[in-house]
Structures are given as C-alpha cells and as structure tokens.
C-alpha cells in the first residue's frame, strides 16, 4: 500500500502565521516545502505587513531547506503559505560532507554527552540498521509525549532526564544517540498528514547503508506521507519562524496537511525514505 501511495497520492499543505512585530526585526521563515529531489510542487506564499505585501528573499541551503528572509518594521505581519505536492521527490542524495557534519554534536543533540551511555545501552556489534531500530524503540518506550513538558531550549540530555517531551524532543534524543553510536543523523521538520492535533512536526533522518532513512519515535503520523520542509543538525537549523534583533511575538499559527485518498499504513519495522 505504501508503494502505491508514494507514486499517486497528492499531498496538500498549508500554514498561516499571525505575528506582531513590536520592534524592527530580520525575520526568517522555514515553512515552504523543500525542493530537494525534484518534487513537483505548486505553491503560493503571501506575506503582508499592516496589509501591505512584502516579497521576501529566498535562500536555499545546502540541505535543500528554503529560508524566506525579510525585514519587518513594527506592525501586524500575516503570512499564508499553501502547496500541493503532485509528484513526490526522489530520496535525498548523500552529500560528501554529510557524514562528517551529521556525526558532530550540536546545540540540541549533544552526542558527545552520550558516548558512554549509548555504548552501555545498545549492542554496538549490531549492523547500523538494527541499531537504528533499537534506538527508535528505546526512545519511544522511554519518553512520554506530553505537550508543554519541555522547554524550547531543552536538549537531548534534558529530554532523557525528564522522560517526556514533544516531537522535537523525541527527534533530538534519537539524533544524539545515533551520532553517539557513529551513525550520522539529522533533524527534519515536516508537514505530517495524519498528525493530531495538527502542527509542524519533527522527525529524525539517519544515514544507513548509503541512504537517508526516516524515523519517527513518536509514531504519530505515517512516515510515507510526510513532506520535507527543512533539514539540519537540530531545531536551531529548522525553526519555522526565527528573528534576529528586534522584537516579535507569534500571536497564533495554524497548520494543515492532508493526502488524497487514504493515509498509508506505516510498518515501523520497514525502512522508509522521505520523499
């Protein structure tokens, strides 16, 4: 069923952000669907400040993330994005620098603090694919998904100690443990048809046998239907809204993601590549 889904199902996604700019700020958005792998996407992006249209500058990162940058003066900033993914992308290619970059500790995935723990917790003699399953199962069983249980600045160590968190916390712990085991891993922000309540979602992507394989320890949405937004070392690289200088407040936001037909059935024992 999942194979047929990948070839035929259209996915439609939307995001609406209502932001108050209290003091002039540089704002970065990462809500647009990644064009990594050549997906056929029809999309619109509307940015208005005090009712006046703004055309943001698009910056494409090495990992295929699309940052929309703008300078906003004080006022009401209203952002609307919609996209239809008509044909899925090819799986992400492995760049020469990926193994080096995604084995390194990062702000929210402090792999260097997990070396001893990971070596004692997991059988390092197993093939990487089996270690991936073991790590995902460990995180799924160790953590409780509780909205509000974590702080936005919590890293993987905080999450392990607290035993609870939301999707980004699950993903950060998976990424940190995999890196500690010598498996390159990164965080991916996605639109997630089937997720409830609907929101932006975060999952992990691991480099296994020369392929990027997607894992979601929360199990809250089928991996086959996920739509890539941004990929990076951790949430610092993939935030849907960021500002430099100035002062902004996110008043509200709403996310939508649906597929044509039925949602796929996700078998967690199978390797899935994000497309």
Percent of residues in the chain assigned helix, strand, coil, to nearest 5: 25, 35, 40
Which pLDDT belongs to residue 42?
94
Q: Is the pLDDT of residue 3 over 70?
A: no
Question: 83-97, 113-127, 191-205 — which is least confidently predicted?
Answer: 83-97
Which pLDDT belongs to residue 1?
36
Mean pLDDT value across the chain: 94
CA separation for the pair 61, 189 (Å, rounded): 14
CA separation for the pair 217, 168 (Å, rounded): 10
Which pLDDT belongs to residue 166?
97
Mean pLDDT for 78-106 is: 94
Mean pLDDT for 242-249 is: 94
Which pLDDT belongs to residue 62?
87
Domains of the chain, CATH where assigned: 2-89+242-258 (2.60.40.2250), 98-238 (3.10.620.30)
CA separation for the pair 245, 74 (Å, rounded): 13
Mean pLDDT for 31-37 is: 90
Mean pLDDT for 197-210 is: 97
CA-based angle 213:152:179, to the nearest 5? 35
Which pLDDT belongs to residue 86?
86
CA separation for the pair 155, 171 (Å, rounded): 10
CA separation for the pair 132, 178 (Å, rounded): 7
Structure token pair of residue 3: 């194979």
Mean pLDDT for 228-235 is: 97
CA 6 to chain centre: 19
Which pLDDT belongs to residue 89?
82
Q: Tell me the whole-structure pTM to 2 decimals.
A: 0.94
Which pLDDT belongs to residue 36?
80
Q: Give 117-157 pLDDT, tens digit per residue.
A: 999 999 999 999 999 999 999 999 999 999 988 998 999 99
CA separation for the pair 77, 81 (Å, rounded): 13
Structure token pair of residue 81: 């994005």
Structure token pair of residue 66: 């699309």
């Amino acid at each position: 069923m999942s194979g047929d889904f990948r070839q035929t199902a259209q996915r439609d996604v939307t995001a609406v952000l209502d932001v108050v700019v209290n003091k002039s700020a540089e704002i970065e958005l990462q809500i647009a669907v990644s064009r990594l792998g050549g997906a056929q996407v029809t999309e619109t992006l509307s940015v208005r400040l005090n009712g006046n249209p703004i055309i943001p500058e698009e910056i494409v990162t090495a990992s295929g993330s699309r940052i929309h940058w703008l300078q906003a003066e004080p006022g009401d900033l209203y952002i609307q994005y919609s996209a239809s993914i008509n044909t899925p992308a090819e799986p992400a290619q492995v760049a020469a620098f990926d193994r080096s970059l995604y084995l390194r500790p990062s702000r929210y995935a402090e792999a260097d603090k997990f070396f001893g723990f990971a070596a004692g917790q997991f059988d390092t003699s197993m093939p990487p694919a089996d270690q991936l399953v073991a790590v995902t199962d460990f995180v799924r069983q160790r953590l409780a998904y509780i909205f509000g249980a974590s702080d936005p600045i919590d890293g993987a160590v905080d999450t392990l100690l607290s035993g609870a968190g939301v999707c980004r916390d699950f993903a950060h712990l998976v990424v940190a443990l995999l890196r500690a085991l010598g498996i390159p891993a990164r965080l991916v922000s996605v639109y997630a048809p089937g997720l409830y309540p609907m929101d932006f979602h975060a999952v992990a992507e691991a480099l296994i046998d020369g392929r990027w394989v997607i894992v979601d320890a929360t199990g809250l949405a089928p991996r086959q239907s996920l739509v890539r937004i941004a990929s990076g070392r951790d949430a610092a690289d993939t935030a849907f809204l960021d500002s430099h200088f100035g002062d902004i407040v996110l008043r509200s936001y709403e996310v939508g993601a649906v597929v044509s037909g039925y949602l796929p059935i996700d078998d967690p024992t199978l390797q899935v590549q994000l497309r």
